[in-house]
Structure formats: C-alpha cells, structure tokens
Structure 1
Amino acid sequence: MPDPSERIIHIASPKSRLYVEADQSIRKGLEPYPRALAAYEVLSKDPEARGHWDMANYITMHKLGYNDHGRVHALLTGAASVAILQLLVDAGVRPDTVESGVGDLEDAFVVVILSTMLHDIGNQVHREHHEAFSVTLALPILNRILGELYPKPEQRIELRALMLHSIYSHDLHPEPLTIEAGVTAVADGTDITKGRGRKAFSLGSIDIHSISALAVDEVIIMRGEAVPIEIRVRMNNAAGIFQVEETLTKKVLKSPIRDYVTVVATSDTNNHHDHRIIQRVRLHDSEDRFILEE
C-alpha cells in the first residue's frame, strides 16, 4: 500500500503515461472540491488552452532546446500544486483566497489549478517576458471558465486577480506574494525529472540543464516532519543537484511558503562514484543553503 502521506510522485515515464498519471492525481486531489474539479475539466478540454500548450512546447523545445513546457508540464505542475496546497491546508495554512475574503477553500483550489496549468503558455510568443504574455493569453480562458462557475462578476474579477498574480510571478520576476502564487511557483520547480528532460536531450540540447534533468529519477511531495511539506528528490547521478538548486530550491526560497517546505535530495547509493560526492542533502532550516546529512 502506498504511504498516504505521499501526495504525488513524478516518475520518469513515457508521455502517454505521464498524461494519465497526472490527470488521475489531479482528479483524486480535487474530489473534495467539486468547483475546482469542474474548472479543471473545462480547462483540460478547452481548445484554446490546448493550442497554447502545443505552441508553447514547440517554441521552447524545438526552437530554444528547453525541456517540455506544454501540456505534460501543465498537468504535472497542476498535480503538484494540488498536492502542495492540500498539505498546506492540512497544516492550518490559510490561502490568500480565504484570508482576503474573496472566496473559500474550494475557491483557493480553483485559483491554484487554473493559474498553475496556464502559467507557461506565454512561451509560445517567446521565452523572454513569457510571464507577461501568459497573463494576456490566459485572460479569455479564465473569463470563460470563471463565467461558468461564478455568477457574481465582482467575485470573478477578484479570483481572476489572484490567478493573474500567480501566473505573472511564477518565475520569481517579480517574486510571488500570495500563498497561491507560492504554490504555483514551487509546483513549477518540482517538474525536474528525466521524463521531461529526455526529449530536449534527444533533440540535441546537450547542456547542464538537460544532463541534470536526466539525472533526476523522481520527485516525491510528501508530508514533512518538522515542516508541513517535504519534497524529496531521488537522483541517479550527482549532476541532478543542479536541477534541484537552480530550478526547485530557488522557487522554494523566494516563495511565501518557504517556511512550510523543505527539500531533501538523495543520490543512488548503488552508484559508488556518486556515493562519494553526494549521498543525502537537506535544505537548511533557516539559511539559503543545503547541508550534508549522514
């Protein structure tokens, strides 16, 4: 039986399996929140959103040589965001949707799933300033979906504002200010496994980004002991620490949920060469650095 404290596992799988696993994880996580599940179902079938994901992926992968930034990335980060928000809520953290009086807990999940899955669509225009492009391109989609779920215009606008902030700040330029935006940013940082790095590598992008992504086998988001969330990264090679530091940890450190998250990275103990370099490191509780653990 799987550990019930483990909310989601990203495994390096074929693309078709990634679709299915992420979709199932999102649906299961949103079962207690029917409005958020309805929002996800509408978004996942939206032809405009699908077109955005396809073209964002084409530009980033085929023209820039980056890792996947399309529908697979949207689904994986969406699943991670639902898991992260639920663990925060379980620990008593109040999302800004609730704190501001804009909505209830169910509405917070609507904010997180929509903003997370649309955060990277601006890459179809260009990687530079993609955050701002994502905001512009997401507006008509958000208007359609929220129009179906929320009859009061004022609440629709307020919820949309939280989503646009999350989308615009997901890459830390500027830094996220709300709990929901922090969830989106950290969820984005968890998608670092070789499942999405392999394609960029096969297309000829052989650099530290693709190599280090191939060195990460899985990311597990689970209930922590000292803090509400532990993100555990299992690497097959010490090169994976680059992805952990540059992609995931940066987002954790500059996020409003920093105090609620720790990151642990472990290297395959069967790899004797890497065993001498890194076996297990943990993000320091109060300083912006990793510490070695025995």
Structure 2
Amino acid sequence: MSEAEASSSSYEYDPDADHAFPDHRLNAVLEYIENDPEITTYLEAQNVNPVARKGYNDHGTKHIEIVRNRALRLYELLKRGDVEFNGAGDQGLDEADESVIIALAATIHDIGHVVHRDDHAYYSIPLAADLLDRLLPEFYDDVGTRVRVKGEVLHAILCHHTEEDPLTTEAGVIRIADGLDMERGRSRLPYERGGRGINTISSQAIESVSLHEGDGTPVLVEIKMHNAAGVYQVDELLKDKLHRSGLEDDVRIVALNTSGDDSQLVERIEL
C-alpha cells in the first residue's frame, strides 16, 4: 500500500455531521487535503518549473494557501450578497458542495506546472482527475455524486488560466482568486534569484490585498501599492481575470498608490 493510500484508508468521515454543522463537509475536505502526502508533494514540486526554471512568481504551497483562502472569502461574501452559485446546483448537488468544489479546485488548480509552465491548466486536468478519483470516495458514497463533483472541480481548474470562459460561479471565483495573489511576498524567491521580469517587479510594488463587503456590490477588493509598477498586476492581469469571470457586476476592485508622492503618475485604479 502506498503512503497516499495509507493516509486515505485511515481517514474517517462522518456524513451524518453535515446536517448539524453546515461547514462540516468543507472542513473535513480541508483537513484531508492538507495532510495528504501526494497533494502536499505536488504543491511543492509544481513550483520548480515556474520559479527555479523560468523565474516566474511563486506557484507553490504558499500561493495555493492564499488562493484557497481568498476563494473561500469570496464565496462567503458573494453568498452573503445573495449571489447564486450554479455549479453545484445545476448538477443537483448539495449547497454544501459549492464550497467543497471551490476548495478542491483552488488547491489543485496549478499542479500541471509539474509538466510545464506553458499551458499548465490543461496539464492539471488529468493529474487532478486522478487525485479526485482517490479523494472523493472518502466523502461521497454515490458514484454519480462523485462524477458530478469531479466535473465541476475540473471545470473550475481549466477556466482559471485559459481562453475557456467560466460557466459557473464557482469557476469564476477560482479565476478571480488566482489573480488576487499579487503581494510582494509572492515575488520574493525569483527576485532574490535575480528575476527582474514585469511579473516580479510589479508584484514587488503591491503591499496588501484585502476583501470586504462592498457598498453597492457584494465584494470590495482593496489593493495598496507603493509605486506605479503595481499597475501591471491590477490593470493587465487582474482586470482580465475579473472581466471574464462572470462576476464583473458583483466584485469591485480599487487599487490605491500609497506612496504619498504627488509626482506619481497613478494614484487610483478602479475596476
């Protein structure tokens, strides 16, 4: 028995607790994936091609933690704003499966980087499918439910960084959350190794990203940057993620230049 199989066989999930605790299924899935040796190894290994070999920003464990946390925060705020999530609903799944789909997609959306940085979203699909085939039986007895959850997770993974538009709210959340990991810490490794590409330099300019309940929209994203180099992260990368997410009317993004220098060309960007 492999190490991953041993980890799975020792895990016990109590589906009866789902009725008493709305977040029980999500919390159980999070506990499982955070302690699964195969998944944790993927999250480490997927950083080699983008960072060590191509000098791009971090795409490893820390990136995944940030994307997953922000995806679940987006989900919370959008639900509070009565935004409909159609991925699980269209498939006849439980409302509790919405956050599970989001958490799983956020966790394994970048594992295709172990194959290559270029077109990594497409390489993520078969690798993620294998992981889901092993993981989902721990939480769903019905094969039909497993197939539907798997399909929704793969849809969200595919649409995070490709020409295919998200067809579900869950997938739109993953697309935006992926673009919200932009602070300077993400570019630390390539910057220290001499990387000076636009992705690295622009990330160095971003101080913080915070998500709040909006005034007029369910979500307000506030981004603080200390110089105009951060404009690339906001106006080029994040703008594309937002405008093709299906959530353009529900998420407002405001970026502020906090340098206090009156000579700065950019003081505020709003998407």
Query: How big is the shift at 1:120?
Result: 0.6
Note closer, same or farther for the CA distance 1:225–1:42 as it changes in structure 2 (3 Å cut). same
Aligned match of 1:218: 208
2:238 is the alignment partner of 1:248: yes
2:268 is the alignment partner of 1:280: yes
Query: How big is the shift at 1:99?
Result: 2.8
CA distance in 1, matches of 2:85, 2:135: 21
SS at match of 1:278: coil
Aligned match of 1:86: 76
On the 8 A contact 1:172/1:254 being kept in 2, the answer is no
Aligned length: 251
Query: How big is the shift at 1:101?
Result: 4.4
SS at match of 1:192: coil
In the TM superposition, what whole-angstrom CA distance separates every residue of 1:186-240 from its partner, at most 9, and x where no partner exists?
0000001101112111111102111110000001111111211111110011110
CA distance in 1, matches of 2:262, 2:183: 21
CA distance in 2, matches of 1:249, 1:117: 23
Q: Unaligned regions of 5+ residues in structure 1, if any?
A: 1-30, 284-294
Q: Which residues of 2 match residues 96-111 of structure 1 at below 5 A?
A: 96-111=86-101
CA distance in 2, matches of 1:122, 1:203: 23
In the TM superposition, what whole-angstrom CA distance separates every residue of 1:12-39 from its partner, at most 9, and x where no partner exists?
xxxxxxxxxxxxxxxxxxx851101111
On the 8 A contact 2:225/2:255 being kept in 1, the answer is yes
On the 8 A contact 1:236/1:271 being kept in 2, the answer is no
In the TM superposition, what whole-angstrom CA distance separates every residue of 1:139-182 from its partner, at most 9, and x where no partner exists?
12212221111111101100110000000111132121110000
On the 8 A contact 2:77/2:213 being kept in 1, the answer is yes
Q: Which moved more, 1:187-196 or 1:121-130?
A: 121-130
Letter in 2 for 1:257: L
2:89 is the alignment partner of 1:116: no
On the 8 A contact 2:179/2:237 being kept in 1, the answer is yes
SS at match of 2:163: coil
2:45 is the alignment partner of 1:55: yes
SS at match of 1:217: strand
State the TM-score, normalized to the length of structure 2.
0.89
2:26 is the alignment partner of 1:39: no
Aligned match of 1:209: 199
Q: Unaligned regions of 5+ residues in structure 2, if any?
A: 1-20
Letter in 1 for 2:270: R
On the 8 A contact 1:150/1:156 being kept in 2, the answer is yes
Aligned match of 1:147: 137
Query: How big is the shift at 1:270?
Result: 2.5
CA distance in 1, matches of 2:165, 2:195: 29
SS at match of 2:72: helix
In the TM superposition, what whole-angstrom CA distance separates every residue of 1:21-79 from its partner, at most 9, and x where no partner exists?
xxxxxxxxxx8511011111111111111121111101110001000001111110000
Query: How big is the shift at 1:118?
Result: 0.6
CA distance in 2, matches of 1:116, 1:129: 17
Letter in 2 for 1:247: L
On the 8 A contact 1:122/1:135 being kept in 2, the answer is yes
Give the % identical residues: 33
SS at match of 1:174: coil
Letter in 1 for 2:212: M
CA distance in 2, matches of 1:172, 1:257: 17
2:179 is the alignment partner of 1:189: yes
On the 8 A contact 1:231/1:262 being kept in 2, the answer is yes
State the TM-score, normalized to the length of structure 1.
0.82
On the 8 A contact 1:102/1:159 being kept in 2, the answer is no
On the 8 A contact 2:88/2:149 being kept in 1, the answer is no
On the 8 A contact 1:118/1:138 being kept in 2, the answer is yes
